[in-house]
Amino acid sequence: MISIFNTDVIGTIVNFHGLVHQVATIAVSVVFYLSCLILMRLMISKAGLRYFSFYCGLTCLVGFVVLLKLGFSYHQNEYMGLMERIIAGFNLLWIVLVGPQVIRLSRSLQYRTINTLH
């Protein structure tokens, strides 16, 4: 997302590219963190996925805090680059650790759904 749209330089006039970057990043991030909440709820009841559920919650919490900080202090935050990298780091680690477990979770949910239909 960061490399698709040019960003505004901190403290300068807002341009269209920077606005598209900001809106797209916020939209994608909100959807990602809401999915973390949903997955946290689904994983917490599974014994083998409980720790992944906690990481989903941690990722969601850190993401929303950083997004709020970025959203309310846009162009006035001298640590914006660091905060964006913190979000990217948590998200990438989530993809590596929890992403494969989502496949395992979906298989168990499909199996449960198929068995309840019969």
| Chain centre to alpha carbon of residue 106 | 19
Asked whether residue 86 is assigned to any structural domain, the reply reads yes
Which band of pLDDT confidence, cut at 50, 70 and 90, is reported for residue 75? low
Distance in angstroms (rounded) separating the CA atoms of residues 88 and 66: 11
Domains held by the chain: number: 1
Asked whether residue 63 is assigned to any structural domain, the reply reads yes
Distance in angstroms (rounded) separating the CA atoms of residues 59 and 78: 23
Query: What's the confidence (pLDDT) of residue 3?
Result: 52
Which band of pLDDT confidence, cut at 50, 70 and 90, is reported for residue 25? confident
pLDDT at 1 over 60: no
9-36 mean pLDDT: 75
Query: What's the confidence (pLDDT) of residue 7?
Result: 55
Q: Which domain covers residue 93, as residue numbers?
A: 16-117
Higher per-residue confidence, 19 vs 48:
48
